[in-house]
Structure 1
Amino acid sequence: MIAELIQKEEISNYKIVDAPEDHATELKEKLQNALRLGNEFKSKANIVFNTTAGPKRVETTIWNVTPDYLELKGGVNISTHSLLEIDY
């Protein structure tokens, strides 16, 4: 999937919308692994999510995961229902 790479600080410039297919359940294990990598090893994850302007990709550390959101540094939240891919 081709997604424009943006900086974490730019996320608030986009309206995040649900993905055409909800991948939250299938990505749950990857999210937990990315969270652990971030917390224990300060490792970054590639997160692809859906916006009204099309898919966007951000490379950052995941600080927290809830059933509905993943939290990035600086209090930036991305809806788990907008996720398209997670890679690390």
Structure 2
Amino acid sequence: MNAELIEKETIDVTQIIPAETSLSEEAITRLASAQRLGNEFKAKATITFNTKEGAKKVYTTVWAVTEKYIQLKNNIHIPIKCVIDIEY
């Protein structure tokens, strides 16, 4: 997948739309691991998500994962249903 890399400060949450497919159980587990890596080791992850302009990705620290959202720094929330992939 060829997603545009953007800075977290430029994420426009009004442009985020649901992904075509739901995350696998493995990807949900990777989200939890990315949160743990971010909180304990300040490690970053690459999150690919769907927008009206196509797939975007951001390289950042995952601060929290809730049932419905990924929380990034500066109170940015990406709906989990919009996430395409997560790598670390």
TM-score category by the smaller chain? over 0.9
Alignment-derived partner of residue 38 in structure 1: 38
Q: Give the counterpart letter for 1:21 in structure 2.
A: T
1:23 matches 2:38? no
Partner of 1:56: 56
DSSP-derived class of the 2:85 partner = strand
Q: What TM-score results when the alignment is normalised by the length of structure 1?
A: 0.94
Q: Over aligned residue pairs, what C-alpha RMSD do you find?
A: 1.3
1:10 is aligned to 2:40? no
Instruction: Mark the CA change 1:33 to 1:21 in structure 2 (over 3 Å): closer, same or farther.
Output: same
Over 2 Å off, 4+ runs: none
Instruction: Give 1:76 shift.
Output: 0.3
Identity of aligned residues (%): 45
Report the TM-score, using the length of structure 2 for normalisation. 0.94
Cα distance, 1:53 vs. partner? Answer: 0.3
What is the deviation of 1:81?
0.2
How far 1:25 moved relative to its partner? 4.2
- Aligned residues, how many? 88
